[in-house]
Structure 1
Amino acid sequence: MYKVILLLDFAEEYSKTLMKGINAYSKEFGPWIFCRMPLFHRETVGIDGILQWALEWGADGIIGQLYNKEIDKILKAGIPVIAQDFKERFTEIPNITGDYHEAGKLGADYFLKKGFTNFAFYGFNDIVWSRERAEGFEERLKSKGHQVHYFEHKKARSTELWYYKPSSLSRWLKGLPKPIGLMSCDDNQGQHITEACRHVGIRIPEEVAVLGVDNDEMICDLSDPPLSSIALDVEKGGYDAAKLLDHMIKHGTGAYYDIIVKPMQVITRHSTDIYATNDDHIASSLKYIHQNIEKNLHVDEVVKQVPLSRRALEKRFLEITGYPIYKYIFNLRIEKFTQKLLDTDMSVFEIALDMGLNDSKNIARQFRQAKGCSPSAYRNKYLAGK
């Protein structure tokens, strides 16, 4: 029965979800005994105190947020350690890290599909997960001929509630071209943006559409308006980290690898629920589609919402969105279906009924067409331990 120290930020949804995956592995192959060590130990007793406690307790391993400068002491202790790269990646021990560039590209593609031509990123340049998300975001947009407006959050202000007052951030937001798709490095910073916009009267999502990362539901729902976010496969990352720690305890720390937490999909909430167009008829059509996508929606119903012939609407819709109306409905339906597949334990049949569809075999076939695998295979792919 292993003894494992978890030195994580237990207030954050990311850490809580990580622990779900770690615990799932423990129940399957353990059980393990856990010491949930609050982060303030890192600041009060330091790495020396943490390692001393680990040796006294007889800890078999540590998973946690550690400072890179303390690597020599960590290695000297001889305890298997997996670090969460909350600042920078370690090179001498395995990291729980992420495909941050891919998350940035996913955010860029999301805004491109919504018709945006102006883009911005808000984050930290001195933290790996923010910096690389910004790089992926900018790389994808530059390949499409677009530039990115960038605002760096200063470390000196990280503990202040400065974004509730007039600031350099609010001045930057007011000076951005509108409408604009803005990606923040995580949900916490996304809420900075929504609050700063509210303070200076910038409309979300009409003027600034805001996208976060982590899909921390509490933060996203507290935001005004609710914040869209990129969901990450964190629970599987926790499971895989526990599996790696098990291997390191049994076979030594010589052979290790990083645990890569993958981005899954964008969860759309009100902060991005818009299509960037000045065409009122297309805007009305898109609004109707988004509001009614969980019904068995057809093109004819969309056409009835605007004073245009079907042919005229189809032509303008294709010119502006890049998709025929039926294809846009199809893509959005698959996006909503995927979200329910990952967020609930409903069967394919139950999800189809919930979305007003009476043919579950047809939606399963459409899903395979879009994703390259069956709904059950896709769900299993993102479940911890699969």
Structure 2
Amino acid sequence: MNQPLRVALKLDLRWPLKRHAHIFAGTQRYADEHGWESIIDEYADEHLSDASVKSPPFDGVIARVNAKLANGCRRLALPLVNVWFNSPAKDDFPGVFPDMTAVGRLRAEHLLSRGLRRFAVLTSEDDAEKVAAESFRTTIAAVDGKCLREKIPLDPSRTFAAWQRTEQRIEAWMERWQLPIGVSIASEEVGRMVIQICRHRGWRVPGDVAIIAGTNEDVLCDHPRPSLTSVEIGYERIGYQAARLLDEQMRSPNKRRGARNQPPRHMLVPPHGLIVRESTDFYAVDDEVVTQALRFIAANSHRHINVDDVARAAGLHPRTLQRRIRQVVDWPIADEIRRVRIERAKRELAESKRSMAEIARDVGFGDRKRMYDVFRREVGITPAAYRKQRRLESPF
């Protein structure tokens, strides 16, 4: 009977972040499917760099690769796959990473779709976020949009003094904003700081400032209000693909040549999608009456509202309001009500395990069949298919 392949995992699992825990989950899905023996070894770099170790104790390693681990795997000609975008050995080993160019483009396209034409991007010294920020700016520049960029330290909260300096830099950056504005922010933590500063200035989120932040760390995105729109990277897929890539190396007859003699293969995994929440749930227009009508729809779409209700809230005759809204956003009031309900249904389907009937009622469709018919016509798939597509545990 063949012995199972033994794979070491060095993924900094002490950090409860998706880019650590969910990558691990993806490796374990592959390990279960292929009968691997997984060994969590957060000190694999120390173990493999020990000169007394003459032969590999594992068949392969998946890791956030530091310099010491890289040297140890080279010395032992041990198959290794890197999943750390900022790794000092990134160019030397095969790796699987999120496609941060696609992440930046997705953020920009979403804010552009909200009718915004002024933008700002806040990034850190993190290499991955630098790529996303540049892609964001390039996408905005392609449509002649204006974008203000600012950088903050990689770990802005490492000390109270660092946090204060970061806050001061952000406030100075915000002094240059012209509202309304769409903002891309590297992390949820800093996104929450920006929302608080907006609140102190009397700026509405999303009415004056629409914010996309981070990579969908759910707890920080969902609370407190307003909830934060974010990009779901799909780190489980990165872990799964890293395991698949390592499997190819371990089973290759040339695996003992050593990583130094093999050109590294890098895979970029596109983001799972955008999770739209309250921080971007609006449409930017210059007409104050139309803005008032759109805000009423956003706040009340879960209720049984119609054109007359919206016109009454805006203080205009329904036909007059219909004409002004068509001039500004090029679609009728009923379409906007339906659009907002669909966006909220998408959010519920992607993030919750609530029943279809509950979601249909609470987002304003009334019953499950009505949501099914509208969703399938407008989105092109059924609500159940959308939920399956968006869930992280869907097949890779």
State the TM bucket, normalised to the shorter chain.
0.7 to 0.9
Q: State the secondary structure of the residue aligned to 1:120.
A: strand
Stretch of structure 1 that moved more, 79-88 or 247-256: 247-256
Aligned to 2:319: 311
Amino acid at match of 1:245: L
**Secondary structure in 1 matching 2:137:** helix
Are 1:3 and 2:7 matched, yes or no? yes
Where in structure 2 are the equivalents of 1:1-80 lying within 5 Å?
1=4, 2-9=6-13, 10-30=15-35, 32-35=37-40, 37=42, 47-49=45-47, 51-52=49-50, 58-67=57-66, 71=70, 73-80=72-79
How much has 1:123 moved relative to structure 2?
0.2
Distance 1:272 1:142, change over 3 A: same
Matched, 1:330 2:338: yes
* 2:395 match: secondary structure: coil
Equivalent residue for 1:282, pick from 276, 290, 313: 290
Aligned pair in 2 of structure 1 residues 8, 355: CA closer, same or farther (>3 Å)? Answer: same
Cα deviation, residue 34, structure 1:
3.4
**Could you say what the CA RMSD is over the residues aligned between the two structures, in angstroms?**
3.5
For the structure 1 residues 334 and 92, does the alpha-carbon distance in structure 2 shift closer, same or farther, using more than 3 Å as the test?
A: farther
Secondary structure in 2 matching 1:62: strand
Aligned length, in residue pairs: 377
Deviation at 1:321, TM superposition (A): 3.2
For residue 8 of structure 2, what is the amino acid of its counterpart?
A: V
Partner of 2:177: 176
1:264 aligns with one of 273, 295, 305: 273
Please tell me the residue identity of whatever aligns with 1:320: V
Query: Relative to structure 1, is the Cα distance of residues 332 and 261 closer, same or farther in structure 2, using a 3 angstrom cutoff?
Result: same
Q: Quick check: 1:243 aligned with 2:247?
A: no
Which residue of structure 2 aligns with residue 111 of structure 1?
111
Residue 357 of structure 1: which of 338, 360, 365 is its match? 365
1:152 maps to 2:151: yes
Letter in 1 for 2:319: R
Displacement, 1:183? 0.6
SS state of the match for residue 121, structure 1? Answer: strand
State the match for 1:233 in structure 2.
Answer: 234
- Looking at structure 2, the residues matched to 82 and 272 of structure 1 have their Cα atoms a distance apart, in angstroms, of 37
Deviations 1:327-367 (A, max 9, x none): 32333333222222222345655543453435545534543
SS of 1:91's partner is helix
Larger deviation, residues 306-315 vs 318-327:
318-327
Distance 1:12 1:358, change over 3 A: same
Gap change, CA 1:55 and 1:233, over 3 Å in 2: farther
Greater CA deviation, 183-192 or 26-35?
Answer: 26-35
Change (3 A) 1:314 1:73: farther
> Aligned equivalents of 2:28 and 2:302: distance in 1?
35
Partner of 2:135: 136
Deviation at residue 120 of structure 1 after TM alignment: 0.2
Which digits, 9 at most, give the CA deviation of each residue in 1:148-188, with x for residues without a partner?
10001245867344344662221121232222211112323
Partner of 2:259: none
Please say which structure displays the higher CA radius of gyration.
2
TM-score by length of 1: 0.81
2:46/2:69 contact within 8 Å kept: no
Residue 202 (structure 1) shift: 5.4
Distance of aligned partners of 1:137 and 1:244 in 2 relative to their CA distance in 1, 3 Å threshold: same
Amino acid at match of 1:316: R
Partners of 2:75 and 2:304 lie apart in 1 by 62
Q: Percent identity among equivalent residues?
A: 24
For 1:278 and 1:234, how far apart are their aligned partners in 2?
Answer: 39
Contact 1:237 1:261 (8 Å CA) reproduced: no
User: Structure 1 unaligned runs (5+)?
Assistant: none
Secondary structure (helix, strand or coil) at the match of 1:167 reads helix
Query: Does the C-alpha gap of structure 1 residues 121 and 15 become closer, same or farther in structure 2, counting only changes over 3 Å?
Result: same
Q: Secondary structure at the match of 1:265?
A: strand
Q: Which amino acid in 2 is paired with 1:178?
A: L
Matched with 2:91 is 91
**Structure 2 vs 1, CA of residues 223 and 356 (structure 1 numbering), >3 Å: closer, same or farther?**
closer
SS in 2 for 1:176: coil
